[in-house]
Structure 1
Amino acid sequence: MKHHAPVLRGIAAALALAGALAAHAAEPLKANVIHWWTSGGESAAIKQFALAYDQAGGQWVDNAIAGADQARATAINRIVGGDPPTAAQFNTSKQFHDLIDQGLLNNVDAVAAKENWNGIFPESILTAIKVNGHFYAAPVDIHMQDWFFYSKAAFAKAGLKGEPQNFNELFADLDKLKAAGVIPLALGGQAWQEKITFDAIFADMDRDLYMKVYRDRDANAVNSPAFRNVLTTFKRLHNYVDAGSPGRNWNDATALVISGKAGMQIMGDWAKGEFSAAKQVAGKDFGCFPGFGPKSPYMVAGDVFVFPKTDKPEAVKAQQLLATVMTSPAAQAAFSQRKGSIPIRPDVDMAGFDICAKEGMAIMKDKSRQLPNPEMLIPPDVQGALQDVITNFWNKNQSVDDAQKAFASALKS
C-alpha cells in the first residue's frame, strides 16, 4: 500500500487547497465603518445598517467615535495617512468636497445607476452628493434640524393646551413654562447647538432673507434691519435656558424634556431616537412641530457615507455593497424608525413611522417647503466662522450691532 501514499498525500493536499480556496471565497466582505452615532437612539439605528450589511454577505466592523468633529478628523487622518476606512460618515453638506477635489474618494456611480438614485432621491440631496457628474457619497437619511419638541406633561403643568403658531405665542408659552417652575427651553450650550437654534429662528422668521444671506452672501441682507431683528429674537431666547446649559450634550437636553423637567427643545429630528429609546410615544408623551404654520420651511439636512480611495477589489466590492444596502428600502425603514430621521427614499412604507416622521415625509413632497441647511450652501470654513460669531453673541454681553458686523465679516471669509 506504500506506493499509494504519495498519491493519497497529493489528493489530500489538493482537497486541503480546494477547501482553503473555498473558505477564502466565502469570506464576507469586511467593511470598517467610521461614524459618530453613539447615543442610545443612534446606536440602535446604526445597528440596523450593520445587520443588513452582514445579512447581505458582508462583515460590518464598527468604528464608532463620539463627536462628529472627532469622527470626521479621524477619518480624514486615516485617509491621508494611507490607512483608509471602507466608509466614513459626513453630513449632507460640502464637508467632504475637499476630499473629492484631492482625488481621495471613490465614486459609487455603478450603484447609483443600478439603483436609479437620480430618479428617486430629492434634488437637494442629489446636489450635495453628485459632483462633476459623479456620485461620491451614499445618503442615508433626511433630517430636519429645527423641529420643536415639547413635553406634554410640562405643557399641562403650565396650562398650555396647544402649540404656538407664531413667535409671539412661542414667547408667551415660554413665559408660562417659566412661571410653572420648569426649564422653558432645554439647550445644550455647545457651539453647533447654538448655531442650529439660530438658524431655526432665522428660517422661520424670513426664509427669503435666509437664502440671501447663506446662498447669495449678500452684504446688504446681513446689514439690514430685518437681519438685526433675527439676531435680537435669537438672543431673547437666552432668558429661557437654565444655568446648567453651557457644555451640555444635546441628548442630555433631550432627556430634560423626556423627564418633564424642561418644556421645549429646538433640535433636529434625531432627538426622536432618544424619545423612542425612553419608550415615549409621539403625540402622547411628547409633541413636535416643524416651525409655525403650514408653509413653514423644512430645512433639509442629513448624513452620508463617503468611500475613501482604494484600488483593492475586495474593498471596492465592500464599498459598493455598503452603498447598496444602506440605501435599500428595508434598511432605510429600519434605520430611520430608530434614528428619528425620515428615509432618503420617498417609496418607503410609512406604516411603521411616528406622527412626526409622517408629517416630515408629507412635507418633503412639497418642494416649495424644502430649504437647504446652511452647510449645503456655504463652505465648512465659513460655517465655522459664522458658528463662532453666533456662540460668541449667545454667551457674551455683546451688542446686536457688533454681532451683526461680526457676522458680515465672517460671511466674507
Structure 2
Amino acid sequence: MNSSKMVLRGVVAALALYGVVAQAEPLKANVIHWWTSGGESAAIRQFADAYDKAGGQWVDNAVAGADQARSTAINRIVGGDPPTAAQFNTSKQFHDLIDQGLLNNIDQVASKENWAGILPQSILDSIRVKGHYYAAPVDIHMLAWFFYSKPVFQKAGIASEPKSYDEFIADLGKLKSAGVIPLAFGGQPWQEKITFDAVLAEVGGQDLYLKVYRDRDANAVNSDAFRKVLVSFKKLHEFVDPGSPGRNWNDATALVTSGKAGVQIMGDWAKGEFVAARQTAGKDYGCFPGFGAHSPYLVTGDVFVFPKTDNATAIKAQNLLATVMTSPSAQVAFSARKGSIPIRPDVDASSLDVCAQEGIAIMKDKSRQLPNPEMLVSPDTQGALTDVVTNFWNKNQSVDDAQKAFASALKS
C-alpha cells in the first residue's frame, strides 16, 4: 500500500471516531504558516493533502518568516478577518490571544485522543490553559541537533562523533585545517539564541539552565558557571565564515549538503533539507543531539491555534483540521519530511530515519527532556534575551558586560 493510501485510511479511521461525515461542500480552511523552504513545503503538503481527502479544502497561506507569519495571523484575528488556523511555536506566544478570548478551544478532539495521557508535560503546559486546549501540536523538535557531512568529516580525519563540548571544539579545528567552513552558521538572532541555549544546557547543565529560565535566578546568571557558558558560546565564533551574518538557516544547511561546511547546529527540521537534497541519514550525513553523549534534549515544536468564531461550519473545519493534523498516519507522513518526531507515541514510526529513531528513544527518558526557553519565559523576555545574545555574538562586548545585560533582560 502506498503512503498516500495509508495516510487516507488512517485519517478516515480517525474521523470516524469523531463522527465527522462528508459535507455537501468541502470545509474550506484558510491556514497561515511559515513553512516555505523545500523540506518544509513538502511536509505541510502532507497535512494539506490529508485534509482535502478527508472532505476539506485546504487554502494555503504561507508567509515567509515566523515573525511575519505570526504578525499576519494576529493582525487578521484582531482585525476581524481571522484565518481558520494559524501556526505558532509550542510556547507562550499565543497565550495573550487566549487571555483576550480570541481563540476557540479544541477540547473535544483533545479528549477523544487522550492528549492528557500521551503528550509530554512540556507540550501540555503550552497548549492547555485553565483546563482547556487551545492549540493542536503537530510535531516535536529538538533545538540543538548537530548535522554533519560524513565525507567532510572523513576528509578532516574525524573518525567518530564528539562526545563533549571540548571534543567538538577540537573537531572544528580539524575541519578548519582541512580547508572547509567548520561551522555552517546562520547569523540571525533566533539562530544565535538556539546555539547559545545549546551551550547553556551542555556547559552549564540542566540545573543552571532551569535556574536561569524557569526560576529567573539573578544569582545563577551572575555566577562563574554562567560566565563560562558565555565564554564557551563566543568561542564558536572562531569557526564560522565571514558570510554567516544574515544567512537563512536552510542556506547554512546547504553548505553542509554541498560539502562546503562540516557541521551545523540546528533544530531537527534541518533534516527536511537533507531529504530534499536526496541525502540519507547515516550514509551521507550524520546527526547527534547536543554536544555530548547524554546531552539534554531541548524540546520544542509547532502548534496550530484556532481563532474565535461562532460560525458552525468554520468550527467544524477547525475540528477537522485538528483531527487530521494529529492523526497517527498524517503525523508519520509529516515527520518523515519535516525532520520532526510525532507528537504521539502510539504511531508506527519504523519508517522514520535513524535521527528520528534516536529522538523518539530519548523522549522516553524524561530526565533528559528540557523545555525550550519560550515555554518558560514570556515572548517579551525571550526577545530581550535574544537581543543580548546577538549583541554579544556580533560585537566586541566583554563577557562581564554581556553577563550584566543578560541579568537585566531577565528581569523584563
Query: TM-score if structure 1 supplies the norm length?
Result: 0.94
In the aligned structure 2, how far is the partner of 1:411 from the partner of 1:42?
33
Taking the TM superposition and a 5 Å limit, the aligned residue runs for 1:150-169 are 150-169=148-167
Q: CA deviation at 1:230?
A: 0.1
Hey, what does 1:71 align to over in structure 2?
Answer: 69
SS of 2:32's partner is strand
Taking the TM superposition and a 5 Å limit, the aligned residue runs for 1:195-344 are 195-205=193-203, 206-344=205-343
In the aligned structure 2, how far is the partner of 1:199 from the partner of 1:81?
36
Hey, what does 2:187 align to over in structure 1?
Answer: 189
SS of 1:264's partner is strand
Match of 1:50 among 36, 48, 55: 48
Hey, what does 1:94 align to over in structure 2?
Answer: 92
CA contact (8 A) 2:33 2:63 kept: yes
SS of 1:270's partner is helix
Q: Quick one: which amino acid aligns to residue 412 of structure 1?
A: K
In the aligned structure 2, how far is the partner of 1:59 from the partner of 1:53?
7
Q: Please, which runs of 5 or more residues in structure 1 have no aligned partner? A: 1-23
What are the Cα deviations for residues 307-328 of structure 1, in whole angstroms up to 9, with x where unaligned? 0000000000000000011000
Q: Quick one: which amino acid aligns to residue 397 of structure 1?
A: N
CA contact (8 A) 2:165 2:292 kept: no
What are the Cα deviations for residues 193-240 of structure 1, in whole angstroms up to 9, with x where unaligned? 000000011111111100000000000000000000000000000000
Match of 1:120 among 112, 118, 137: 118
Q: Quick one: which amino acid aligns to residue 386 of structure 1?
A: L
Hey, what does 1:402 align to over in structure 2?
Answer: 401
Q: Quick one: which amino acid aligns to residue 72 of structure 1?
A: R
Hey, what does 2:16 align to over in structure 1?
Answer: none
Q: CA deviation at 1:153?
A: 1.1
Query: TM-score if structure 2 supplies the norm length?
Result: 0.94
Q: CA deviation at 1:293?
A: 3.9
Q: CA deviation at 1:379?
A: 0.2
CA contact (8 A) 2:140 2:340 kept: yes
In the aligned structure 1, how far is the partner of 2:46 from the partner of 2:165?
39
Pairs aligned (count): 390
What are the Cα deviations for residues 368-396 of structure 1, in whole angstroms up to 9, with x where unaligned? 11100000000000000000000000000
CA contact (8 A) 2:116 2:124 kept: yes
The answer to whether 1:393 aligns with 2:392 is yes
Taking the TM superposition and a 5 Å limit, the aligned residue runs for 1:104-115 are 104-115=102-113
Q: Quick one: which amino acid aligns to residue 406 of structure 1?
A: A
SS of 2:268's partner is coil
CA contact (8 A) 2:163 2:293 kept: no
Q: Quick one: which amino acid aligns to residue 321 of structure 1?
A: L
Mean alpha-carbon deviation: is it higher for 395-404 or for 345-354?
A: 345-354
Q: CA deviation at 1:292?
A: 3.8
Q: Quick one: which amino acid aligns to residue 122 of structure 1?
A: P
In the aligned structure 2, how far is the partner of 1:28 from the partner of 1:55?
10
Q: Quick one: which amino acid aligns to residue 315 of structure 1?
A: A
The answer to whether 1:141 aligns with 2:101 is no
Q: State the 4+ residue runs in structure 1 displaced beyond 2 angstroms.
A: 292-295
Q: Quick one: which amino acid aligns to residue 399 of structure 1?
A: S
What are the Cα deviations for residues 283-322 of structure 1, in whole angstroms up to 9, with x where unaligned? 1100000024443111100000000000000000000000
SS of 1:265's partner is strand
What are the Cα deviations for residues 239-296 of structure 1, in whole angstroms up to 9, with x where unaligned? 0000000010000000000011000100000000000010000011000000244431
What are the Cα deviations for residues 158-215 of structure 1, in whole angstroms up to 9, with x where unaligned? 0111011111111110001000000000001000000000001111111110000000
Q: Quick one: which amino acid aligns to residue 385 of structure 2?
A: L
In the aligned structure 2, how far is the partner of 1:277 from the partner of 1:94?
31
In the aligned structure 2, how far is the partner of 1:166 from the partner of 1:392?
26
Hey, what does 2:36 align to over in structure 1?
Answer: 38
Q: Quick one: which amino acid aligns to residue 226 of structure 2?
A: F
